[in-house]
Structure 1
Amino acid sequence: MADTSVKIEDSTRDVLRDLAAADGLSLKDYLAKIAAEKQREQQLATATAAFRRALAEPGILDRFDADFGGLPPAAQQTPQAA
């Protein structure tokens, strides 16, 4: 892949370079790491939203319990402080 340039403030570049150095990475590798982390966060947020929409569907939990037998009895108990 070809490299490209991005114009940023010198102060931002310095902060990113310091963060990269603290992680033992080049600035290029650090930015790639940050991009991958942000992409995973976005994917997780999308999956979480879809899961919440599914749980909000009327009857979904009852159907899940019917199909998969529900939670084991120990998981249904509410833990209490000693």
Structure 2
Amino acid sequence: MADTTVKISAETRDRLQALATARGTSIRGLVDQLAAEAETQQLLGRATESFRAAIARPGFAEAFDRDFGGTPARTAPRAA
């Protein structure tokens, strides 16, 4: 993969370096991690929107309960 240069302020570079050090990685590694995390959050956001749209449809919850037996009974005590 070819390298590229991104211009950022010295303050931002220092902040990224501090974050990278805390994670035990380089700025390059940190930026890779942050990009992957942002992509994952974007995908989760889309999945959440799709799920909310699905359960808002009339009859969806009833069909789910009918086809999959409803939600399981909670057998373990709640932590809080």
After TM superposition, the score normalised by the length of structure 1 is 0.85
d(CA) in 2 for partners of 1:64 and 1:24? Answer: 45
Alpha-carbon deviations, 1:24-74, whole Å to 9, x = none? 1011001100110111111101100100000000000111111112123x3
Residue segments in structure 2 that go unaligned for 5+ positions in a row: none
Match of 1:43 in 2: 43
Q: Give the counterpart letter for 1:7 in structure 2.
A: K
Count of residues in Structure 1 that have an aligned counterpart in Structure 2: 76
Moved over 6 A (4+): none
CA distance in 2, matches of 1:53, 1:8: 39
| Distance in 1 (alpha carbons) for counterparts of 2:23 and 2:71 | 42
Cα RMSD, aligned residues only: 1.6
Alignment of 1:64 onto 2:64: yes
State the match for 2:24 in structure 1: 24
For 2:26 and 2:71, the matched residues in 1 are separated by 48
Q: CA separation in 2, counterparts of 1:70 and 1:12?
A: 50
C-alpha separation in 1, matches of 2:71 and 2:19: 44
**Greater relative contact order (Cα < 8 A, sep 6+):** 2
TM-score, normalised via structure 2 length:
0.87
Q: Which amino acid aligns with 1:20?
A: A
Report the identity percentage.
49
- Distance, in Å, in 2 between the alignment partners of 1:37 and 1:15 is 18
| d(CA) in 2 for partners of 1:41, 1:35 | 10
